[in-house]
Structure 1
Amino acid sequence: MSNAISPHENLSGSAAIEKIKNITEGAGTCFFSTRVNADTKSRPMALQDVDAEGNLWFLSDINSDKNHEITSDSEVELYFMNNSKYEYMFIKGKATISQDKALIEKYWTNFANAWFDGKDDPSISVIKVAPNDGYYYQTKENKLIAMSKMIFAAITGKSIEDGGIEGKLEV
């Protein structure tokens, strides 16, 4: 086992929102988990945006299992991973569903045409996840340097900083 360690930096308020925006938009997709207090269901979802308040926005079919699960239990968990930069984030939050045409217009992308018949498709909904808290890990340096430090620690058994930083998020 490696003796590499990461310094901790817990973030709250606007600093947490900025970290959420930075890491999640870099990852682009996440595992979106519903029924987190029971029989958890997870599926990949493409992130549309993170707004100034830290809310995460997704497009979804109003008739999907995910939407039905959110209707009965709005607590969700999101797992983001940007492996190319060694950035990872876990977010717990509350999801709400809307079919507001202005929100659909705002978050619509041409990529969504793969699942819907244009932005006027009656099955489109927008899911807003308001984050409560979470956890992140990211490298402070580039991936090659971070990996080199971890390998050095593994080979030598010496404790070193692994080139990453991690901490709790409170929004």
Structure 2
Amino acid sequence: MSQNNLKEEIMNVLENSKIGTLSTVKNNKPYSRYMTFFNDNLTLFTPTSIQTDKADEIKANPNVHILAGYEGEGFGDSYVEIEGTASINDSDDLKEKLWNENMEPWFDGPNDSNLIVLEINPDKITLMNIKENSTRTLDL
């Protein structure tokens, strides 16, 4: 699989799998939670509150791991593993762009002072569980 085809396959997983796990590290232990992800090319974004443990964990250690994809269909149901660096983005433009009604139970709108966006820049992306029975890592 060429790097261009690999990137297309990864983008397909990211576009079709908005829910994934975000793992952070606190006191040398991993913590995972389900998150909703949006992507712009290979950069991922996920809204959250500044008052969450994950925000504190990322401030202390920005290294994260994400799993996205896999719908329970077994072999050939591909997913991605992403190792990356997260940062807190509180851009009003980005919050407005990502805002949707599903966020209303947690926030009073895109201008809620507790709303932030975690921006994840990938260091490594691996396509897993592909039919060729191997993994493929995208050159970044």
Q: Which of the five TM-score ranges fits, normalised by the shorter chain?
A: 0.7 to 0.9
2:70 corresponds in structure 1 to 82
The structural deviation recorded for 1:81 is: 2.7
The structural deviation recorded for 1:108 is: 1.2
What TM-score, normalized by structure 2, do the two folds share? 0.84
Residue 65 (structure 1) aligned to one of 50, 53, 67? 53
1:115 corresponds in structure 2 to 106
Residue 51 (structure 1) aligned to one of 40, 46, 52? 40
- Contact 2:6-2:136 within 8 A present in 1 as well: no
Q: 1:37 to 1:123 in 2, by over 3 A?
A: same
Query: How many pairs align?
Result: 137
Q: 1:131 to 1:10 in 2, by over 3 A?
A: farther
Q: Any gaps of 5 or more consecutive residues in structure 1?
A: 1-8, 141-162
- Contact 2:26-2:57 within 8 A present in 1 as well: no
Q: Any gaps of 5 or more consecutive residues in structure 2?
A: none
The structural deviation recorded for 1:34 is: 0.5
Q: Please list the CA deviations of residues 39-74 of structure 1 after superposition, one character each: whole Å capped at 9, or x if unmatched.
A: 001000001x2113x100110101110010000100
> Is 1:169 aligned to residue 135 of structure 2?
no
> Is 1:25 aligned to residue 22 of structure 2?
no
- Contact 1:91-1:135 within 8 A present in 2 as well: yes
Higher relative contact order (CA 8 A, sep 6+): 1
Distance in structure 2 (CA, Å) of the matches to 1:18 and 1:105: 27
The structural deviation recorded for 1:124 is: 0.2
- Contact 1:34-1:66 within 8 A present in 2 as well: yes
Q: 1:10 to 1:95 in 2, by over 3 A?
A: farther
What TM-score, normalized by structure 1, do the two folds share? 0.70
The structural deviation recorded for 1:166 is: 3.1
Q: 1:10 to 1:65 in 2, by over 3 A?
A: farther
Q: 1:88 to 1:119 in 2, by over 3 A?
A: same
RMSD, matched Cα: 2.3
Q: Aligned partner of 1:68: which letter?
A: D
Distance in structure 1 (CA, Å) of the matches to 2:27 and 2:81: 16
More helix by share: 1
The structural deviation recorded for 1:18 is: 3.4
